[in-house]
Amino acid sequence: MLLELLKKRRSIRKFQEKQVEVEKLEAILKAGLISPSGKSKRPWEFVVVDDSVKLEKLSHAKPAGGQLVKDAPLAVVVLGDAEKSDTWIEDCSIALTFMQLEAEEQGLGSCWVQLNNRPSHDGRGADVIAKEILGIEGDLRVLAVLAMGYPAQERPPYTEEDMEFSKVHYNNYGASYKMR
């Protein structure tokens, strides 16, 4: 059931030193490639990275929050074409989410590391640093890095108590929705 998978999926920041099988990677990529997009523009492109030197460099693209990338055996960098679609951020976010869910289904852990609109140490932007590391030219934009691998940590699944039903309104903002 999808809701059970959603409850189980948690951000994983520590990975085992074990390579991800090609079949699992390809299932994850397929999930991203079939995700919905505005007007079916599909403005995304993906860069698969398993080179440890590049993963190390990507982990330093921004001052905080990206260090986990260096210890991941695999990452997918999600790019968007802003010329192709004005909803590239939303479309690429959906693709990235689909890949996270498929990673969970494949028994892998993952963590989204945001690069778009994040500073770098030198002020150019984390997305610009990632483009240089990966040799990306032109107008493609870097949204995020999806670091993944076999989890080296356990996190409990979400429960009904974790769900903030007070954030759900009925017909009018401020009118509580009563869960049945």
Query: Does 180 have pLDDT greater than 90?
Result: no
17-36 per-position pLDDT tens digit: 999 999 999 999 999 999 99
Task: Find the helix packing angle between 88-105 and 22-33, rounded to 10°.
Answer: 150
63-113 per-position pLDDT tens digit: 999 999 999 999 999 999 999 999 999 999 999 999 999 999 999 999 999
Domain positions in the chain are: 2-176
What does pLDDT average to over the chain?
Answer: 97
pLDDT value, residue 15: 98
pLDDT value, residue 178: 86
Judge whether 44 and 112 are in contact, CB under 8 Å. Answer: no
| Displacement of CA 32 from its chain's centroid (Å) | 10
Helices (H) and strands (E) in the chain, counts: 5, 6
Q: Is the pTM of this model over 0.85?
A: yes
Mean pLDDT for the stretch of residues 132-140: 96
Q: Which of 21, 8, 7, 20 is nearest to 154 (CA)?
A: 8
**For residue 128, which amino acid is it?**
V
CATH architecture of 2-176: 3-Layer(aba) Sandwich (3.40)
Query: Does 179 have pLDDT greater than 90?
Result: no
Q: Give the Cα separation of 38 and 63 in Å (integer).
A: 33
Strand partners, 145: 77, 113
